[in-house]
């Protein structure tokens, strides 16, 4: 049994279940189980392997943002597929301060510019610190940072900032949000599985619990097929 944390105060024990659902056929095509103390993204690789063994190819991957750092995302993009996810938040530490979205990020030039025009260069994965002297003299400082005297405003640039930027653009338009909502049937399938199996792991060991998850997914698929047949009748 493994122990994981959802937030600092919320702990959970056991295993994490991951599924891939074909959004056209509404069929669960692969599952994986990982110990609760491992990051979600580790659940994606065994699912991708399983999908490959079935001779299927992912052309559009709609994922929870917890899986965005998985190498599977890079593989899908490299093979010409598309990835859709909600972006990570950009909130400032305090709601009264400028958030990351108040800065202009130029991914080609790899520069970040604040509203008065101070420019810093970055590499993906950097935490950029603006020039402390310029921040010290800036009339907007109190709206921008609570950094100690002699320090400048910092902004974190994600390793996958280009991808996050694409996700943020999607979230800013109605059609983009509709694309992101296409993942909802995956959440429905997970909820049905949880209702069927309960929230506690039945077995000790990821392998046995994977068997249990696959069994529940198979029943879920049969129910979906039955529903489709009833709709067509």
Residues at the site binding ligand SF4, with contacts judged by CB under 6 A? 114-116, 118, 130, 134-135, 138, 140-141, 144-145, 152-153
Q: Would you say 82 or 104 has its CB closer to ligand SF4?
A: 104
3-state secondary structure 115-128: CCCCEEECCCCCEE
Length of the chain: 233
Q: Would you say 30 or 135 has its CB closer to ligand SF4?
A: 135
Would you call 15 exposed, middle or buried from its count of C-beta atoms within 10 A (0-12, 13-18, 19+)? Answer: buried
7: its two tokens:
């937030």
6: its two tokens:
């959802």
Contact 34, 206 (CB under 8 A): yes
Q: Give me the least distance between CB of 91 and ligand SF4, in Å please.
A: 16
Q: Give me the least distance between CB of 143 and ligand SF4, in Å please.
A: 8
Phi, psi of 78 (to 5 degrees): -60, -35
The CA distance from 14 to 213, in Å, is: 14
Q: Would you say 141 or 215 has its CB closer to ligand SF4?
A: 141
Q: Give me the least distance between CB of 94 and ligand SF4, in Å please.
A: 13
Which distant-in-sequence residues (6+ apart) come within 8 Å of 194 by Cβ? none
The CA distance from 163 to 85, in Å, is: 9
Q: Would you say 96 or 232 has its CB closer to ligand SF4?
A: 96
The CA distance from 126 to 146, in Å, is: 20
Q: Would you say 76 or 135 has its CB closer to ligand SF4?
A: 135
Strands 60-62 and 82-84: parallel
Q: Give me the least distance between CB of 163 and ligand SF4, in Å please.
A: 25
Q: Would you say 111 or 118 has its CB closer to ligand SF4?
A: 118
Q: Give me the least distance between CB of 147 and ligand SF4, in Å please.
A: 9
Q: Give me the least distance between CB of 87 and ligand SF4, in Å please.
A: 22
């Amino acid at each position: 049994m493994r122990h994981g944390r959802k937030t600092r105060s919320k702990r959970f024990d056991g295993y994490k279940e991951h599924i891939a659902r074909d959004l056209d056929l509404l069929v669960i095509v692969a599952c994986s189980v990982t110990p609760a103390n491992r990051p979600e993204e580790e659940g994606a690789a065994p699912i991708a392997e399983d999908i490959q063994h079935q001779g299927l190819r992912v052309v559009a991957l709609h994922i929870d943002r917890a899986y965005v750092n998985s190498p599977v995302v890079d593989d899908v993009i490299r093979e010409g597929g598309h990835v859709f996810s909600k972006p990570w938040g950009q909130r400032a530490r305090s709601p009264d301060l400028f958030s990351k979205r108040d800065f202009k990020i130029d991914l080609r030039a790899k520069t970040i510019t604040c509203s008065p025009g101070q420019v810093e260069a970055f590499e993906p994965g950097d935490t950029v610190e603006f020039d402390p002297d310029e921040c010290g003299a800036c009339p907007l400082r109190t709206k921008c940072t609570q950094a100690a005297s002699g320090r400048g405003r910092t902004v974190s640039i994600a390793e996958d900032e280009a991808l996050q930027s694409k996700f943020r653009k999607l979230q800013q338009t109605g059609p983009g949000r509709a694309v992101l909502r296409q993942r909802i049937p995956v959440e429905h399938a997970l909820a049905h599985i949880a209702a069927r199996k309960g929230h506690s792991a039945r077995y000790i060991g990821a392998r046995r619990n994977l068997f249990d998850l696959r069994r529940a997914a198979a029943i879920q698929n049969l129910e979906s097929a039955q529903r489709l047949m009833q709709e067509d009748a």
